[in-house]
Amino acid sequence: MREQMPDTTLRPCHLPGTRLEQRGGRVIVCDADGNVMLALNESAAALWELCDGSTTIDEMVMAICEVSSISAHQARDDVERTLTEFERAGLLLAIDV
């Protein structure tokens, strides 16, 4: 069964000290010490940039729909799945509206 972020009005924020880096043609999330925490594809990297503490999950879905040809339903599934992966890796804080 797929897990979902419980509240689409939450504003995910990356963990302080984490950052995106390009290494060997790959986009990765590193901690403050430069340790690799997660490798990302292009879509996940774009979503990571939206995890700024001010963008809601609903707004993330709308942003994905604006730049792609996928349906809102598919965009929501993709956003929720990717945010769940970030959360499992310990990379997110959820900020209440």
Q: Indicate the average pLDDT of the chain.
A: 87
**In-domain check, residue 72:** yes
The range of the structural domain enclosing residue 67 comes to 11-92
33 occurs within a structural domain: yes
CB atoms within 10 A of CB 83: 25
- Do the domain assignments include residue 1? no
Condensed to tens digits (0 to 9), the pLDDT of residues 50-85 reads: 999 999 999 999 999 998 889 999 999 999 999 999
Is 16 a domain residue?
yes
Q: Determine, yes or no, domain membership for 4.
A: no
Task: Give the CATH number of the domain where residue 39 resides.
Answer: 1.10.10
Domain assignment present for 97: no
The answer as to whether 21 is a domain residue is yes
Q: How far apart are CA 32 and CA 19, in angstroms?
A: 8
Other beta carbons within 10 angstroms of residue 48's beta carbon come to 23
Q: How many domains does the chain have?
A: 1
Q: What HEC string does the chain produce?
A: CCCCCCCCCCEEEECCCCEEEEECCEEEEECCCCCEEEEECHHHHHHHHHCECCCCHHHHHHHHHHHCCCCHHHHHHHHHHHHHHHHHCCCEEEECC
**Residue 1 confidence (pLDDT):** 37
Compare 68 and 1 and report the one with higher pLDDT: 68
User: Per the domain annotation, does 2 fall within a domain?
Assistant: no
